[in-house]
Amino acid sequence: MTIFKNLYVPLILIAVLVAIFSNFGSVISVIEQLTFTKINISSFGSLYTSSFNQTYFIENQWWRLVSPIFIHFSFAHLAFNCLWIYILGEKIERVDNKVIFILLIATSSIFSNFLQYYWTGLSLFGGLSGVIYGLLGYCMILELESKFQRYELPPALYLFMIAWLVLGFLGLLDLFGFGKVANYAHLGGLISGVMFAMIYKNFIKKLN
């Protein structure tokens, strides 16, 4: 189908469908299949999470390394993230290619989700924002090399991205009513995007 010729389209569509069927993360029976580690419901109705080892090495639920990116907890959360996936996805697929885009999605998903879980120990988090930081980190490195001509994104966008990350770690976003922010997911995404850009510059690009 023509609508799926761009890989960011199904990515956005899945996030929207998960938001609808989970009522923005409030239907546990839906999101329990997507959280980073398995969420269990006891016979008394209480929730408890399986360990990392139980989830991945015993039950082999490896899709959970990526799946939290599809969980969103409000309409604003979903809309903001999908907008940026569309903007950045279109540019990366057009300037680079679909393979680079999907590899970026995979690496930034895994790295951001794992770092958020590792530092907080919590399983119930989600959103595409860690991936967005990965895409922005990747674009930023390559933009510096091309003097911001490659993707034609304004330098102020990258400054805003860094400022938002710092404000999140300072707790100011929560203080000003933005809710709980997955700061380590943002940081993990940014690091993975920068690392991917360095690999692309020094190895992948030279093969083309």
Within 10 angstroms of residue 84's Cβ, the number of other Cβ atoms is 18
Query: What amino acid positions are annotated as catalytic residues?
Result: 129, 186
Asked whether the CA dihedral 10, 11, 12, 14 is positive or negative, the reply is: positive
Q: What is the Cα–Cα distance from 162 to 181, expressed in whole angstroms?
A: 14
Q: Which two tokens stand for residue 147?
A: 């003097």
Q: Is 44 exposed, middle or buried (0-12, 13-18, 19+ CB in 10 A)?
A: exposed
Domain with residue 17: its CATH number is 1.20.1540.10
Low pLDDT (below 50) residues in the chain: none
Helix ranges (DSSP H) in 2-58: 8-21, 28-31, 52-53
* Distance from C-alpha of 208 to C-alpha of 203, rounded to nearest angstrom: 9
What is the Cα–Cα distance from 194 to 28, expressed in whole angstroms?
34
Q: Is residue 49 within 8 Å of 61, Cβ to Cβ?
A: no
pLDDT at residue number 1: 53
**Domain boundaries, position 203:** 2-207
pLDDT of 7 reads 93
Q: How far apart are CA 70 and CA 22, in angstroms?
A: 11
How many domains, in total, are found in the chain? 1
